[in-house]
Amino acid sequence: MSHVRISGSQNTSSIPTPKPGADAQRNRPPRQRHNQRSGKQKQEQLVDPPQLQNAELPPAPPSAPPLPQIAAPVISIPGNKSSSDRTPHKRKSACRAWKAGACPRGSNCPYRHDVQIEQEAARQARIKEQEEQERQARLREQEAARQAKIKEQEEEERQARLREQEAARQARMKKQEEARQARLREQKAARQAKIKAQEEARQARLREQEAARQARIKEQEAAREAQRQAHVAQLAKEDAAKVIQRIVLGSIITFRAGLSISNLITGFESCTVRVKNLPLDASEEEVCAIFTQQGIDAGSFQIAGMKRVPGEKQEAEIITDAESGHAIAVGLDGTEFRDETLVFEVGTYNSPGSMSAAAARDIDVLTISWRAPSVRYIVEFPEDIPAIRKVHELNRQICLGRRVKVEINSPPPGRFVASFRPNSIKINNLPWSVTEQDIVNFSGSPLVRRLEGRGYNVDHGIQQIHEDIKRVVAPGAVISFDQTSTSNSMDGNISVRVRFASWDEAQKAHRHLGDRRFPYIGNAVCWTRLQSPMHYTIVIPAEQYQAQKMQWASLVESIKDKKACTLNIQEQGNIVRVRVSGSVKPAIGALKVRVENLIAGEQVDGWHRSLGFSRNTFVRSVFDETGAYLRTDWRRQTLKVFGEPQAVERARELVKAQLEKLSSMEYTVFLKRQSISFFVRHGITTLKETIGEDNVRFNASSQQITVTGDEEARHVLSRLIDESLNEFHALPDPSSVTQSCPICYDDVSSPVLLGCGHIYCTACMRHLLASVADSNQFPLTCLGDESQCGVPIPIPTIQRFLPPASFSRLLEVSFDSHVARHPLEFKYCRTPDCTQIYRSACSGEAAAMQCPSCFSSVCAACHDDAHEGMSCEEFKIHRNPAEQERLNDEWISQQNGRVKKCPQCDVLIEKLEGCNHMECRCGAHVCWRCLGVFDPDTIYQHMHSAHGGIHGEDVVPEPVDFHIQQQVLLQAQLRQMELHREQVDEARIQQRRREAEQQLQRQRQEERVRAQRRQEQEERLRTLAREEYLQTQRRQEMENRLRAREGEMQTARFAPRQQEQEQSKSWGCTIM
């Protein structure tokens, strides 16, 4: 193997080259040969030497420096000639073999080949040249890789030496650092021990302070909890003692816990006290204080309302019993209030919502008018047409100070007058002093003729009228007699105004003068005008009147006696004024009650607050679609409908559908911050149990709650919001409740705590209060301890669970139940449709009472028409009730002993089945066999001992003399009534004593409350002072902690610098 030296490189190296021979021949460039058999051209590829083919060139390192430019080596290989050495022959003749298809000589052929062959040869030369260049490039790369590898090895050896030196240096430094760290650890351990001791001492002090603070907090919490419990107990006590006053069906009712009635003032016993000259800004509380400061019990009067009157003043209307009303008016009249002198007036009682009594002026004044002396003239014209024109021209014109009446002259009916002219006119009401010339000048016609007139002495006529009136009325009844117009008046009427001592005396004169002619005034008729003594008015909407127009017309037509009472209906734009007036009280009262019942309409169950808006389109649509008028009362939350029966039924269906639609609407409320925790812990659960889980949505992040439902659902939500804002609201934790609900006997959910300590489920309590209206079980008491608790449910608790409309209906049910349980004490008015009640008096003592609504008079003892001057027995004899009693007894005898009379209240009792113990609605326990009245505890003993058992013959074996029995029972009833009256008197005395004691107790309680409030305020101030002291201590501790932390941070910040300084002082070696 020979070596070839390559020039152009700094470092020279030997590359083995193959020997010339067979290998060299193989390495020569391929040449083209012609295959004569196949006619195909074959081509051999250029192959590198084996040494170069198998050599793997190492990749150049990325950090190796670029190789220097090496000149391309010139390698001379024997036996190979380059294509440039060959010079093609310039042949002129072409090769025949080539033309035949293949030349065996190829490029050595002496003859000329085709141009394509020459181009192929040139291409092969270029390919060979490119391959040579590539081979040279590979050689250069291999050399560069080798040089890079050598350099890399040298660098690795250098780095290894450096690493050994660095390791030795690091070992030395590590030993030094370990020694230094050991010293630092010792110092740090000593410092940490010292700091730990200080920290333990500080933590001990902090624990002591925290324990003291926690103890103070617990004491404060215990005090607050005790205060809250005391406040809750006080609230429960106040709720249990709370009473309310309402006007129910015309009576003033005082309700206490459980909706039991503690005081009842009937409409028959009531009167109205008007307080006048009140300042414009006076409130109801201030008016109430005027009465209570005088020692008047707040339960004995009711403020019906306050209204503004002319003169920038107010007028309050107070309803109380008649005895107290007169005492108040006398005792408080002239009282000074805010530099104003109050005026108290007592009037008749009028139920709220009914027709108000109009202030009729001068009802005792009779106005009398008649014609003054006058003459008539006949004026003739040539023709009829001028006469007719003169009538239109002269009628109601003034002639000599008198307004005349001009008409076409007509003959008297049934008479022939020779002087009658059809072309004449008649002038009436001319003054007595008129002359023919005056008529000629007035009419313009000379043909005038005077008729007979009414001439009399005016002064004498007035005097005769006065004397005639005096003869009719009682002596001294005429108070004044004044002439209001003379004969010189323009209308030609004389009027006098007569004032009487009473309306009854004026009515006598009115009847005497009416429809009569008097010769002393020219045989003229007097016109009298006397106002009705009673006027009642009310204003209703025009839509309501249009819906009830047929009913109003029927009511007007039903009035038979127009003189006794009249009904006047006047339309005034958007309102209609209804007025009832007359002089006969029973007739006016009956008509007034019918008018009030028609105005009251029919109530529709349900309510939604959107219906109370003035611009609600649904209310108008009901009137347009059905013809019935729907009125909404947003204060009482009630709906009433007015109209014909069919229209009312259609309106009810529309309202029911609208309420169902509105109940599906959502109602969203944004809660205050202090309410969020309450609703998260309790409120949402209570809402879901009360109105349904799907009807409640709560978003705590936006602080809003949405409920779906009717007005009752909104009432529940409003109640819970009020409870959430109450700081001392008593809401027990459900997890701590161990009692079961007295209604469902299950674990309590959403608890409701009563003052007696029993806990109910919210849903159960709501159901109990909603269903009590159907049971009539009053008073409402707690059902705890197996219904043995019996503590009345406070009124605020009932109001929290019932909407206002439902609560008002429950009050009416309680009132009706109270009246039904006391049939001997309270009776309803005898007028149909009148809802007033009155209190019964002792039997035999006639007590005439007048109903404030229908004005009917009734005897409170015998419950018949009032009979002044006669006893009840005398009145019964006068009315001959024997026949009615005989008929009743005859009918009872025909019932085969199936019907009998209650021996206590005379109500008919019918026995259908069961034992012989009969219980009447009056409360009497009657033995059916002998009609004896016994106690509930002794009646069964009587039936066993006297009749041999509680059952037996239904028919009494011996005939009963009902007349004797009635006399005996009447005497027993009289004794019972006498005893009842004594009991009532004793009860009233005891009630007054209790009221005095309660007043004293209230004063003492107020003093205790004021003292407790002062103590609470002082305790609150002390608590605030302690909290301020604790906050000051906390601020000081915080400042100390901050200063200590800043010191530690500064120490930690300067420690590395000190370490560096120590290291720079300790070490002197430098790392290269």
pLDDT value, residue 134 = 92
Q: Which residue has the higher pLDDT, 232 or 602?
A: 602
87-91's contacts with Cβ under 8 Å and 24+ in sequence apart are: 88/118
The Cα 385–Cα 391 span in angstroms is 10
Contact 622, 628 (CB under 8 A): yes
Residue 1065, number of CB atoms within 10 A of its CB: 8
The Cα 25–Cα 30 span in angstroms is 10
| Mean pLDDT in residue range 956-973 | 48
The Cα 704–Cα 672 span in angstroms is 9
Q: With bands split at pLDDT 50, 70 and 90, how would you rate the model's confidence at 1032?
A: confident
Q: With bands split at pLDDT 50, 70 and 90, how would you rate the model's confidence at 637?
A: confident
Q: What are the backbone angles phi and psi of residue 481, rounded to the nearest 5°?
A: -140, 105
Place of tokens 């006669």: 870
In this predicted model, what pLDDT tens digit does every residue of 871-913 receive, in sequence order?
A: 777 677 666 656 566 667 777 777 777 788 888 877 788 887 7
List the one residue out of 882, 917, 884, 888 whose CA is nearest residue 901: 888
In this predicted model, what pLDDT tens digit does every residue of 510-568 receive, in sequence order?
A: 888 877 788 888 888 888 888 877 778 888 888 889 999 898 988 888 888 877 888 88
> Is 80 exceeded by the pLDDT of residue 451?
yes
| CB-based contacts of 783, cutoff 8 Å, min separation 6 | 742, 743, 758, 768, 789
Query: What dihedral angle (degrees, nearest 10) is formed by the CA atoms of 416, 422, 427, 433?
Result: -60
pLDDT value, residue 109 = 78
| CB-based contacts of 892, cutoff 8 Å, min separation 6 | 899, 900, 901, 908, 962
pLDDT value, residue 118 = 64
Please report which helix (H) or strand (E) contains residue 712, including its range: helix 711-724
**Of the candidate ranges 40-54, 235-249, 297-311, 626-640, the one whose mean pLDDT is the lowest:** 40-54
> Is 60 exceeded by the pLDDT of residue 957?
no
The one-letter amino acid code at 876 reads K
- What ranges in 419-516 are assigned the alpha helix state H? 436-443, 458-472, 503-513
Cβ burial 916-947 (10 Å sphere, 16+ → b, else e): bbbebebebbbbbbebebbeeeebbebbeeeb
Q: With bands split at pLDDT 50, 70 and 90, how would you rate the model's confidence at 57?
A: very low
Query: What dihedral angle (degrees, nearest 10) is formed by the CA atoms of 416, 420, 422, 425?
Result: -130
| Mean pLDDT in residue range 280-295 | 83
Q: Which residue has the higher pLDDT, 737 or 1010?
A: 1010
**Of the candidate ranges 134-143, 622-631, 697-706, the one whose mean pLDDT is the lowest:** 697-706
The Cα 404–Cα 492 span in angstroms is 9
Q: With bands split at pLDDT 50, 70 and 90, how would you rate the model's confidence at 953?
A: low
Residue 189, number of CB atoms within 10 A of its CB: 10
pLDDT value, residue 864 = 79
In angstroms, the Cα distances linking 1052 to 186, 869, 1057, 1058 are 18, 115, 10, 10
pLDDT value, residue 680 = 67
Mapped onto helix, strand or coil, the DSSP state of residue 133 is: helix
Helix count and strand count (H, E) for the chain = 26, 46
> Is 60 exceeded by the pLDDT of residue 1061?
no
Q: Say which DSSP state 735 is in.
A: G
In angstroms, the Cα distances linking 189 to 182, 193, 194, 203 are 10, 6, 8, 20
List the one residue out of 859, 813, 814 whose CA is nearest residue 838: 859
Tell me the two tokens of residue 569.
Answer: 């209906």
In this prediction, what percent of the chain has a pLDDT beyond 70? 77
pLDDT value, residue 675 = 78
Set out the domains of the chain in order of their start, with CATH numbers: 244-356 (3.30.70.330), 365-530 (no CATH), 537-624+641-659 (3.30.70), 885-975 (no CATH)
The Cα 342–Cα 275 span in angstroms is 7
Contact 499, 369 (CB under 8 A): no
Q: Which residue has the higher pLDDT, 1070 or 970?
A: 970
> Is 50 exceeded by the pLDDT of residue 12?
no
Residue 540 pairs with which residues in a beta bridge?
576
| Mean pLDDT in residue range 228-254 | 81
**Of the candidate ranges 9-13, 155-159, 699-703, 893-897, the one whose mean pLDDT is the lowest:** 9-13
**Of the candidate ranges 92-101, 702-711, 744-753, 901-910, the one whose mean pLDDT is the lowest:** 92-101
Mapped onto helix, strand or coil, the DSSP state of residue 281 is: coil
Contact 352, 473 (CB under 8 A): no
Write the DSSP string, 482-499.
EEEE-TTSTT-EEEEEEE
List the one residue out of 255, 264, 327, 323 whose CA is nearest residue 291: 327
The Cα 937–Cα 950 span in angstroms is 14
Which of 90-104, 366-380, 445-459, 975-989 has the highest average model confidence (pLDDT)?
366-380
Query: What dihedral angle (degrees, nearest 10) is formed by the CA atoms of 864, 867, 870, 875?
Result: -40
> Is 50 exceeded by the pLDDT of residue 62?
no
| Mean pLDDT in residue range 914-935 | 86
The Cα 485–Cα 496 span in angstroms is 7
Question: CB-hemisphere CA count at 13 Å for 599?
Answer: 21
> Is 50 exceeded by the pLDDT of residue 30?
no
> Dmax of the chain from CA atoms?
192
Tell me the two tokens of residue 564.
Answer: 């006794």
The Cα 886–Cα 892 span in angstroms is 10
pLDDT value, residue 924 = 86
In angstroms, the Cα distances linking 280 to 133, 311, 314, 997 are 122, 9, 5, 37
pLDDT averaged over the chain? 76
Please report which helix (H) or strand (E) contains residue 479, including its range: strand 478-485
The Cα 408–Cα 336 span in angstroms is 70
pLDDT value, residue 619 = 82
Q: For the chain, give the number of residues.
A: 1072
pLDDT value, residue 877 = 60
pLDDT value, residue 137 = 92
In this prediction, what percent of the chain has a pLDDT beyond 90? 4
The Cα 819–Cα 206 span in angstroms is 72
Write the DSSP string, 134-175.
HHHHHHHHHHHHHHHHHHHHHHHHHHHHHHHHHHHHHHHHHH
The Cα 137–Cα 156 span in angstroms is 28
The one-letter amino acid code at 299 reads G
Which of 8-17, 87-96, 688-697, 986-995 has the highest average model confidence (pLDDT)?
688-697
| Mean pLDDT in residue range 804-828 | 85
The Cα 152–Cα 159 span in angstroms is 10
Listing from the earlier edge strand, what are the strands of the sheet with 534-541? Answer: 356-357, 534-541, 575-582, 565-572
> Is 70 exceeded by the pLDDT of residue 1046?
yes
Q: Do strands 517-518 and 524-525 pair parallel, antiparallel, or not at all (unpaired)? A: antiparallel
Q: Which residue has the higher pLDDT, 994 or 238?
A: 238
| Mean pLDDT in residue range 1016-1031 | 71
Q: Is the peptide bond before 779 cis (omega within 30 degrees of 0)?
A: yes
pLDDT value, residue 13 = 39
